[in-house]
Amino acid sequence: MPDITGLELSPKKVEYLKFLFKKGGLVRTTDISTQLQVDPSTSTKTIVDLAETGLVEHIPYRGVRLTEKGLKYAEFLVNRHNILSLMLSHYGLSAEEACQETSRFESLVSKAAIDKICTSMGHPMASVCGKIRHVSCGVP
Q: How confident is the model at residue 137 (pLDDT cuts 50, 70, 90)?
A: low
Domain ranges within the chain, ordered by starting residue: 11-66, 74-120
Tens digits of residue pLDDT in 31-64: 999 999 999 999 999 999 999 999 999 998 899 9
Say what the pLDDT of residue 136 is. Answer: 59
pLDDT tens string 56-93: 999 988 999 999 999 999 999 999 999 999 999 999 99
For the segment 105-132, the average pLDDT, to the nearest whole number, is: 91
Reply yes or no on whether the pLDDT at 2 is more than 60.
no
Of 12-21, 116-125, 128-137, the range with the lowest mean pLDDT is 128-137
pLDDT on residue 1:
46
Q: What is the pLDDT of residue 3?
A: 73
| pTM of the model as a whole | 0.88
Is the model's pLDDT at 107 over the cut of 60? yes
Q: Which phi and psi (to 5°) does residue 93 adopt?
A: -80, 145
User: Residue 46, Cβ neighbours under 10 Å: how many?
Assistant: 22
What phi and psi values does residue 127 have, to the nearest 5 degrees?
A: -130, -175
**Cα separation, 18 vs 13, whole angstroms:** 9
What is 11-66's CATH topology? Answer: Arc Repressor Mutant, subunit A (1.10.10)
19 pLDDT more than 60: yes
> Helix or strand or coil: residue 57?
strand
